[in-house]
Each structure stands twice: as C-alpha cells, then as structure tokens.
Structure 1
Amino acid sequence: MSERRVKGILSSDKWKTNDTNVLIMMTFAHTCAAAAMFMLAALGPTLEAELGLHASTIGYLMGLAWACGSVASILIGVVIVRYGPTVVLQFGLLFLAMGALTLAISRGVTFLALSMAIIGGGYGIVGPSSSVILAQFCRPERRNFTFSIKQTATPGGTAVMGVVAPYVTATASWPWTGIVVAMVSALLAVVVFGFKTQWNHIVPDPGSSHFGGLRLIFANSRLRRLAIMCFLFACAQVGMTAYLALGLASLAEFSPAAAGTALSLSSAAAIAGRFMVGYLADRARTTEHVLLGTGLANAGAICTLALVSPAWPTISIYLLVIIFGVAGHSWAGLYQAAVVTAGPLNRASELVSGSFAFMFLGGVAGPLFSGLVFALTHSYMITLFFLGGIALTGALIIAMTIAGVNSEEN
C-alpha cells in the first residue's frame, strides 16, 4: 500500500469514527488509566523496603485514589457536556501523567498521597469520558459486548502494571515506572487531540449540572436499582479481590505461590468473562437477566470458597476462583450499557459520569467493610460469607429491577 494511501486512510473521518477503531482507542485509554491507578500497589513491596512504607498505608492511599475518582466522576458529567468528551479525556490523561510524575519524585507519604489523589481524579475523568465517546459510536445491538470489551481494560491494566513495574524497577529504578506511565499518558493525550472534531457530538442540555447524573439516577427507579446493584457488586468484587489470596492461604493452607496463582487465574477469567458475558447479553437482548445470573453465580462462588479446607482438591478450588473471576468481574460493562439504554440519550454524559461514582464508592467501601468484619471476627470464613451476602443482595436488587420492568410492560 502506498504512503499516500496510508495517509489518506489515517486522516479520514470514516477511520476515526469506525466503531471498532473507537473501541480500541477507548480501551487503550482506560487500560492506561487502570495501570496508573494500580501502579502504587504494584510498587508496594519496593516502596515498603526503600521508603519504609507500611502495607496498611498503601491500602489507605489506594482508598484515597478511589475516593478522589468518585468525586471526579460525579462532577465531570457537566464538563463533558460543555467542552466535549474528547477534551475531557485529554484532561484526564494529562492528570494521570501529572500524578505519575508526582509519584516518581515522591520520597514520603505526603507526596505519595498527592500523587494518588491526582491519579484517582484522572481515573475518574478518563472512565466516564471514554465511555461517553464510545456510546456515541457503538451499535445498540452490540452495546453490551462493546462496553464489556472496554471494561477488560481494568484487569488488563492491572496485569500490565504487574509486569511493567517489577521489570522497570529491576532494570532502572522504581521512579522510572512513574515516568514511563507519565510518558504514555501524555503521548495518548496528544493522539486523542487529533480526534476532537469527530468525537464531539454532545448536544448541550439546559438541564445539565454537576450533580445532574445523580439526580437522574435517583429520580428513575430502574436507574436507582441499577446504581445500588453496582455499588454492591463493586463492594463484593474489590473486597473479595483484596482477601482472596489471604483467605485461601488461611482456609485451604495455600502456599504464597498457590495463592498467587489463584489471583492470576481470577484476573485472566475476568478478562475472558467480560467477552463472554457481553456477547451473551447482546444475544439474549436482556442485560438485567444476565446481570442477575452473574450476581447469583458470584455469590455462590464466594460463599463456597468460604467453606474450603486443606482437604479440598486444589483443582476444585481453582475452578471456584475462575467462576468468581468470570461472574464477579464481568458485570461492569453490562451495567454501563444498561444505564445508557435506560436513561435519556441527551443526558448520557451525566448519566455515565454519575454511574461511575457508584463503582468508585463500592471500590472504596468493599475493602473497608470486609476489613472491619475481619477485625471484629478474625475469621476469613465469616469475611467471605459477608462478601458473598453483599453479592447476593446485589442480585436481589437486580431481580427487583426485572420485576419492575415486567410490571411496567404489562
């Protein structure tokens, strides 16, 4: 193919607005954000050794990042309406770059806290803005599959950082991990600038406001139940991820290597599960029913894992972990698709940003709630049953949503 032909394809609006190409770009942007978000966790052992950072401090700093992401996602909806999702996405990527550079120069808790606050804010901006861009171009009949693919960015970014951080630390030094993330984020922000004209199709709504997304969600019974389900599923997912390896080491007497393998299996299953569940929801044309199925399967897997012992075959425990990976992580893309479908299209930016707030709040609350239960009971079995109960409650909420939709149709 000639150089002129290649330039013509790359500069054409058709290439820039093709739904597959937009999906690839948004998934890459979200992957970059997820990698930045989990950078501190990946660098945890190194920072603990070099800066004397306690493991609990890393947990608190991650909680700070999730909290800042929640605030950013609530406030960013009206900004997307006023300035367009592409500009906001650029802003979020530059936020990530600034946060990563701040982490690279950190030598104490104060700068680490500042860096995680900035990164959390950037993550809370990139998620909603990239989803709004994607919602403009994805086909309605492929909406569940499309958003599920985009959400593979979260486990994908975590996996990427799990490889990149140790490699960069070993070959250079840990601050270079932050520099690499900053460079990639800034470069992507420059690339996104070239799509500004083609990706900004938001029609301003006079009713838009910073908390408009939350008002829309609380005013609509279907959206309200979906948001509550999201909060509960996020609690169970993040809380269970935090305690999976520890729980298996205690209940099943897994070695660190075996527990680490279980965690890796969970992440791999999470990626594959989002493809599978998104495809299934589009084929079945009923997002809520698939969400109900994943919620029940997740609750069953978590509660069964609470009962494992050293006598259980390792393969059966790994199978339960895979079920948790598929069912416990695959709901996020379906949730975003359901919100876009259930709400008014001219307020999609506010709805998407408001919906992300419940994900972030669940991410903050999950480890805190499960940590509190463990502190009170000193039992991993009870802690896992508690998380399974949260997942089951989320499934019951979505069952109520299905019942409400059916009653309205009748």
Structure 2
Amino acid sequence: METFAPSSAAREKALLVGVSSSPELSRSTVEEYLDELEFLADTAGAEVVSRIVQEKKQKDPAWFLGKGKAEEMAHVVKGGLIDIVIFDDELSPVQARNLERALECKVIDRTELILQIFAIRAKSAQAKMQVELAQLEYLLPRLTRLWTHLSKQKGGIGTKGPGETQIETDRRLVRHRITSLKKKLREVSLQHATQTKERDSVPRVALVGYTNAGKSTLMNALCPRAEAYAEDRLFATLDTKTRRLELKINKLVLLSDTVGFIRKLPHRLVESFRSTLDEVLRADFLLHVVDASHPGYEDQMHVVRQTLQEIGVEHENIIEVFNKVDAVGDRDALRALRQKYPGAIFVSAIRGINLGALRDAISENVARDYRVRALRTHVSNYKLIGYLYETAEVLDKRYDGEDVLLTYRAHYKTLRRIDARVAESEKQRSHVA
C-alpha cells in the first residue's frame, strides 16, 4: 500500500471531494467534514489545493458522483495541478477503479487515508502489525495485478497451482498473511496480559477522546515523567502508554493514554486495535477529554461515545474533561458550556489550568471504590500485620490481650489480595496450632 511521506520537499497536491446527500448532511456540514479531511491529508503529507462538494441524493454505484461529474473533474486533474483525489466517503472497489481510470491519477477514500496515517505513525511492533492487518483486510477486495510483489513473501515454487491466475495467487498470499498477523496479535495480547497481571490490583483510569483533543498533553501534565508523545497532529499516539499517578492519602492509580477516535474511524482499525484498547475496557473509570475550543465538540463527543459502545465499553463512570479552555475566546460560550455540563472539569493541559480540580475529581472517584475492613490476629503474626501496612491504609490499631485489632482501608481490587493473604495466614496458623 502506498503511503504519503510527510516531507515538505515533495508534497502531493490533493483535491478533496464530499457529497451532501440529505438535509442532515447539509453542504455546510460537509464543508466542516472536509476541513477535518484536509487536516488528515496534511498529517499524511499532502497539500490540499482544491475541494468539491456535490449535492446528490443517491450515490452512483459505478462512479460515486456520476459519470458527468467525474469527466468534469478529469479536466481539472489533467491540468497538472492535482496528484491525488481524496473522497470523504468510502469508495467501493468498482467506484475507485472507474475513477482512477477516468481521472488518471491516484484516488483514495477517507478510510485508506486514515490507514496510511496509521502506517506512518505506527512505531511499536504491535502497532505495525495492527495497521498492516487493517490495511490488508481493506485491500483484499481491491487487489489488482499491482500486488504481484507480495509473492516475495513466500517462495515462488509451488505457490501457483494449475490454472491459477496471478490475482488468485495474490489473494491467497494476502489471506495467508492476514491469518498469520491475527495469530501473532493473539500471542502478543496474551503476553501483554501476563506482563500486566499485577496491574489488576491497582485502580486504573483511561484517557479517551477525539483525536487531537490533548490527551497526551494532559497525561504529561498530570504525570510529569510520562513523556507521552504530543503533537498538533491527528493520531499522534497509537500505542497505549500507562504511567503512575500519585494522589492524596497514599492513593496510586495507573493512568493510560489511548489512541484517539475520529469520525468514520474504519471498523477494521477498531477491530485490529481492540487489544490495544484493552486498557479502556479494564479501566475503573474514564476521563473523556474534549477539545472545548472546537466548534464541533458535541459531534466529536458523540463519535467517542459511539466508538466506546462499539468496543464494548458500556459503564457510565466517565468524567468529562473539557481541555483547551484557554483557547476559547468567547467567555459567554465557555460560561454556557459550564452550565450545560455542571459535572465536567474545565482545564488547560498545556497551561496547567485547573489541574488540581481534576486530580481531586479523580481522587473522589477512586475513593468510592475503597472499603473499610477490620481484622483480629495474634500479635506475633508479624508477616500479615506488615503486609497490611504495605498494601493498605491502616486507620486504627488496638490491642486486646495477645491479639491485635486492625482497622484498615483499601481499594476493592487490593482487598481480594488481602483476603487471600489472610485466609492463607489463618490456614498456616491452624496447622501450627
């Protein structure tokens, strides 16, 4: 799959295409969507020089826009100003093939553009495999003879059966690669689960939100040593990063930064990155980071909620965090936003505004999952007493003859380990007695 190289030396000239097909999808709404598509194209390394919005109730099954419009676009493209045409909606294999023939240039859709950006951004081995899997599943029905280079992944002798065409060979090679990638990703997921098993006893918080809402910047502000990569580009973060966040009253939580969501996020990517998004599934609660300065912040919030439902996150324990309040020029609009979302926290991660209130909100949510317990044990049971002091917050200690009464507080996840340790200790002491 070809990818843009985000280099200022050779930026491809791009034409963006959107369709207004209903009153809900008005021309002004499509223009807003194309603004985001332009940001995506810029992130991928292309320079947008023009855009087209056509009002069409039904999309042409062969040409998407209609053959007449395609011929009109061909005159613009053949003038030498356009290298690539990017559609905001997903094209069928037939539509993409017909348009490329008519326009005589590269034609891609929003899905392929996002896949290419992910390919550029992927750094870890896991992220690269996830992106490659999504790319191959997208390209499988779009294979042409240009894919003969894939035969290098497997020896030529014996790979082509009697009467088998080259395109059939390529499809079989791609399917084999997809199967191999899925197997490797399952293995990586199991390894990750084993390596992070100890985290299950610690409260976990995950940052979610629309791409470029400022999640990584917020993580760096809350956890000074996080060193999460932050940039004013879409999908700056692909790999989930987890860092320690120290709170008051000896409370420790694990804060995870996850990949940002976006409108029309390809389903294949959601499926491929499902293992990466496990931190969201396992989190005790979420911080939904919203760009308060974005005019379409409500649409972005809706996209995030829809994507969370798609990956199976249904719990309602979510704190809305409106970021970039310093970039909201209209004070009345910000005041109205506070009234509309009274339970939300309004911050500026880059300027450190109101981060204390956010920490307090996290502490209050974590505190809800803490329980108070009491334990009676013999004063000589030093190991168990010491373990309680290490893993819990001891609130009171009293002596009753040869016994000691301990009142302690711990997170419900930690209590599971404490209960198991107490049961083991009592079993050992009963054997000794």
Q: Which has the higher strand share?
A: 2
TM norm. shorter chain > 0.5:
no
Please report the TM-score for the alignment, with normalisation by the length of structure 2. 0.23
The one of the two structures with greater contact order (alpha-carbon pairs below 8 A, sep at least 6) is 1
Q: From the CA coordinates, give the structure whose radius of gyration is larger.
A: 2
